[in-house]
Structure 1
Amino acid sequence: MNLANKITIARILLIPIFILLFPIYPDWLIYKSDVIQHIDSYGIYYATAVFILASVTDKLDGHIARKYNQITNLGKLLDPLADKLLISAALILMVNQQLIYSWIAFAIIAREIIITGIRIVASSQKIALQADQYGKIKMVFQVVAISAVLLNNGPFSFITIFPVDQILLYIALILTIYSGYNYIKNNYHTLKLDS
C-alpha cells in the first residue's frame, strides 16, 4: 500500500476519534469520569482540531498521489469516501447538538449520496468521472463552515458579532447543491442509464 493510500486510511481512522471527542455524553456518564467531564468541557475544541487535521490530509494525500504517481483504484474509492464520512459524521453530530438545522445536514448528505451513486454506476460501466472545480471549492467551504460552527463562530467572534459561521454554512450549502447539479449535468450524458 502506497503512502497516499495510507494517509487516506489514517483520515478514515480519525473519524471515530473525532466522534469520541465530541461532547455528546449523557449526564450520568459525565459525572462518573474525570476524563468524560474534561471532554464535556473542552472536547469540542479537540474534536474541531481533529476534524481540521483530517480535512487537511485530503489535500496531502491527493498531492502525494499526483506528485509521485501513486494514483490507484483503491485511492479513487477511499478518498471521496473518507471525505463524505467525515463531513456526514460532523453534520449528524451537529444536528444532535442543535448547532445546525437538520434540513441543512440532510441536503448536504443527500447530495453526497446521489453523487456517490452516480460514481458507482459509472464505475460499473468502466467510466471515469472526474471531480470538477466546484466540488473542490464546496469541500473547502464545508470544512471552514463546519469548523466555524463547531467553534461557535470562532475565530470570527473575536473581531465581529456578525454570524460569519452561519453565512459560511449557507454558502457551503448553496455550493454543495450547485456542484451536485453541475456534476450531474456534465456527466449524465456519459452514463448508459437505459442499458
Structure 2
Amino acid sequence: MNLPNSLTVARLIIIPVFLLVASMKCHYADYIAAGIFIIAAITDSLDGYLARKKNQTTLLGQFLDPVVDKILVTAALIILVEIGRIPGWIAIIIVSREIAVTGLRAVAAAQGIVIAASCLGKIKTVAQIIAISAFLLDNFPFYLINFPFAYVALTFAMVFTLWSGVDYYLAFRLATKAR
C-alpha cells in the first residue's frame, strides 16, 4: 500500500478515536477532538497532494478517499448533534447532499462519465471543516459582528454545501444530455 492510501486508511481508523474523544465530558476533550479532526482533515489534503505529485493514484485511493472524507464529516456532524451543538436538520441537509452527489457521480460513472470535483466542492469542504472545528471548540474566542464565529462558518458551509450540490446536479444533467 502506498503512502497516500495509507494516510486515507489512517484517517478512517482515527474516526472512532475522534468520536470517542468528542463524546467525553472532560474539560479538554473538545480541544483534543478538534485537533484530531483537523489532523484528519489535513491528511485528506495531504494524501491527494502526494498521490498526484508522486503519480501514485490508485483505484483504491480514488474510491476510498472520498468515502472516508464523507464518513469523517458525517461522523463529526452526528456527534455535534448528539452533544447539542448543532441542530439535526443541518446535519441532515449536509449529509443528504453528500449522499446525493455520490449517487449522481456513481450513476454518471456507470455511464462512463466522470464528473470531476468542482471548485465549489472544494470550498464547501474547507467551509465544513472550519465550521465543524469551530463547533468542536464550542466557545471559539473569535466573534464577527456579534455572532459567534462557528455560526457564521456554519452558515457559509451550508450555502456552499447547497450551491455545490446544485452545481453537481447541473453538471450531471449536462453530461448525461450530451450522450
TM bucket normalised to smaller: over 0.9
Match of residue 139 from structure 1: 125
Q: Structure 2: where are the runs of 5+ without partners?
A: none
Distance 1:179 1:187 in 2: 12
Note the C-alpha offset of 1:128: 1.9
Local SS of the residue matching 1:191:
helix
1:23 aligns with 2:52: no
Q: Cα RMSD over matched residues?
A: 1.9
Match of residue 162 from structure 1: 147
Match of residue 29 from structure 1: none
Local SS of the residue matching 1:180:
helix
Match of residue 50 from structure 1: 36
Whichever residue aligns with residue 54 of structure 2, its letter is Y
Match of residue 86 from structure 2: 100
Note the C-alpha offset of 1:125: 2.4
1:80 to 66, 74, 77: 66
Contact kept in structure 1, 2:120 and 2:160, CA below 8 Å: yes
Contact kept in structure 2, 1:153 and 1:164, CA below 8 Å: no
Local SS of the residue matching 1:49:
helix
Residue identity over aligned pairs, in percent, reads 46
Distance 1:19 1:125 in 2: 37
Match of residue 120 from structure 1: 106
Contact kept in structure 1, 2:97 and 2:165, CA below 8 Å: yes
Structure showing greater Rg? 1
Contact kept in structure 2, 1:23 and 1:40, CA below 8 Å: no
**Match runs of 1:51-70 below 5 Å:** 51-70=37-56
After the TM superposition, list the runs of 4 or more consecutive aligned residues in structure 1 that deviate by more than 6 angstroms. none
2:163 to 154, 178, 183: 178
Distance 2:10 2:110 in 1: 27
Match of residue 10 from structure 1: 10
2:135 to 149, 161, 168: 149
Contact kept in structure 2, 1:23 and 1:41, CA below 8 Å: no
Contact kept in structure 2, 1:148 and 1:155, CA below 8 Å: no
